[in-house]
Amino acid sequence: MKGHILTFFDNLYNRVEGFWSSRKTWKFTVSLIILIFLIYMILITLNRFHWLPAPLANKIPTNHFYAVHLAFSMLLVIEVMGLVFSIAHSIARSVGKQFEIFSVILLRQSFEEFVNFSEPIVWQEIQQSIVHIIVNTAGSLLIFLALGVYYRIQKHRPITRNETEQFHFIATKKIVAIALLLIFVLMAIHHTIILFLTPHPYSFFNTFYTVLIFSDILLVLISLRYCSTYHVVYRDSGFTLGTVLIRIALTAPPVYNVLLGVGASGLIIALTLVYNLFSPEIEKEALFKFE
């Protein structure tokens, strides 16, 4: 019974991932983002000239940088989808995707500063925000650099050589990924509805990062069924702490958010380096556990 359930979700996940990762879906998604961006730019322009009806004009801003903010939000949605699918392949890879998303969020926060300025931009308005823009951009670049190091030093190894156990582990991660995908879609629908009903909606990505913290902890617990070595448990728990630090950084004030994000990226690099230092012993102990 257990094998049939895992096989069902394994096939379901493979179909959904295959559809999302196909070139046809990717081209359609990017084309849709371009279309929405252009339509929003046109609507903002029309609203600047007061050519929109009152009900719609109240919902459309008059600053074109809101369109840039929307574009980055849509790009973040694509990154989150990639994160969800990466969970089934590698916990380490999914952690890296979370830092990728955070680096894009920092860039988006830089552009958020521009929505407070008039058009065209004048120095007198921007000078008080320039420090935040520079810090967020520099922090995003540092995390981008840290991720390059992080991915290069990764050594992906199965936690067991027992093929049945390995399949069960991967299939279970796929169930978690499907659950996260469902939660993400429901949250996106709910956030969109709230966005049209109130001028002060909740922060979507901040809330979803909280969900990611619990999913990371769940994955750590699941991995214990297949490998209970101290080093693996410590590394995965440390990765979860890195996720928690990102979540705190999302709500931290300027500068502190960057320090927390860069510090968290340094943490996962240090964890990976120390883990790799002992990986031969870990691999031997873990892989033969079920033989």
pLDDT digits (tens, 9 = 90+) for 202-215: 788 888 988 988 99
Does position 288 have pLDDT exceeding 50, yes or no?
no
DSSP string, 145-197: HHHHHHHHT-----S-S-HHHHHHHHHHHHHHHHHHHHHHHHHHHHHHHHHHH
CA-to-CA distance for 47 and 29, rounded, in angstroms? 27
| Mean pLDDT (whole number) for 244-266 | 93
Average pLDDT, the chain: 86
Q: Which two tokens stand for residue 43?
A: 């609507």
H-type helices in the chain, by residue range?
2-21, 23-48, 54-57, 65-86, 91-112, 123-126, 130-152, 163-197, 204-223, 230-251, 256-277, 279-287
- Which pLDDT does position 289 carry in this prediction? 41
Out of 68-82, 152-166, 232-246, pick the least confident: 152-166
User: What band does 290 get if pLDDT is binned at 50, 70 and 90?
Assistant: very low
* DSSP, res 114: G
Contacts 24+ apart (CB under 8 A), 217-224: 218/176, 219/87, 219/91, 219/173, 219/176, 222/169, 222/172, 222/173, 222/176, 223/91, 223/159, 223/169
User: What band does 160 get if pLDDT is binned at 50, 70 and 90?
Assistant: low
The domain ranges of the chain are 2-287
Distances, alpha carbon 233 to alpha carbons 13, 55, 92, 227, in Å = 26, 55, 13, 8
Residues 6+ apart with CB under 8 A from 287: 157, 158, 159, 160, 161
Q: Which tens digit of pLDDT belongs to each residue from 119-138?
A: 777 777 787 788 989 999 99
| Mean pLDDT (whole number) for 31-57 | 92
User: Are the CB atoms for 243 and 98 separated by under 8 Å?
Assistant: yes
User: What band does 34 get if pLDDT is binned at 50, 70 and 90?
Assistant: very high
User: What band does 285 get if pLDDT is binned at 50, 70 and 90?
Assistant: very low
- Which pLDDT does position 27 carry in this prediction? 95
- Which pLDDT does position 238 carry in this prediction? 92
